Amino acid sequence: MNRDWSELSPILWDSVRETLYIVGVTVGVGGVLGLALGVLLYATRRGNLLENVFVFTVLNVAVNVVRPIPFIIFITAVGPVTLAVVGTTIGNDAVIFAMSIMATFVTARIVEQNLVATDPGVIEAARAMGASRLRILVTVLVPEALAPLILGYTFLLIGIVDMSALAGYVGGGGLGNFAIVYGYQRFNWEVTLVTVLVIIGMVQLAQLLGNWLARKALHR
Q: What is the full DSSP assignment across 14-28?
A: HHHHHHHHHHHHHHH
The nearer residue to other proteins, 85 or 134, going by C-beta atoms, is 134
The nearer residue to other proteins, 67 or 135, going by C-beta atoms, is 135
The nearer residue to other proteins, 126 or 165, going by C-beta atoms, is 126
Least distance (Å) between residue 198 CB and other proteins? 36
Least distance (Å) between residue 15 CB and other proteins? 39
Least distance (Å) between residue 87 CB and other proteins? 42
**Distance separating alpha carbons of residues 213 and 141, to the nearest angstrom:** 18
Q: Taking the CB of residue 32, how many other CB atoms lie within 10 A of it?
A: 13
Residue 218 touching other proteins (CB under 8 A): yes
The nearer residue to other proteins, 83 or 146, going by C-beta atoms, is 146
Which residues are CB-neighbours of 10 under 8 A, at least 6 positions away? Answer: none
Binding mask 113-142 for other proteins (x = CB under 8 A): ------x-xx-xxxxxxxxx--x---xx--
In angstroms, the Cα distances linking 116 to 54, 190, 211 are: 19, 45, 21
The nearer residue to other proteins, 2 or 211, going by C-beta atoms, is 211
**Distance separating alpha carbons of residues 25 and 8, to the nearest angstrom:** 26
> Of 102, 118, 146, which is closest to residue 45 (Cα–Cα)?
118
Least distance (Å) between residue 142 CB and other proteins? 9
Binding mask 61-100 for other proteins (x = CB under 8 A): ----------------------------------------
Residue 217 touching other proteins (CB under 8 A): yes
Reduced to 3 states, what is the DSSP secondary structure of residue 104? Answer: helix
Helices and strands, number each (H, E), in the chain: 11, 0
Residue 46 touching other proteins (CB under 8 A): no
Q: What is the full DSSP assignment across 63-87?
A: HHHHTTS-HHHHHHHTHHHHHHHHS
Residue ranges in contact with other proteins by CB under 8 A = 119, 121-122, 124-132, 135, 139-140, 143-144, 146, 217-220
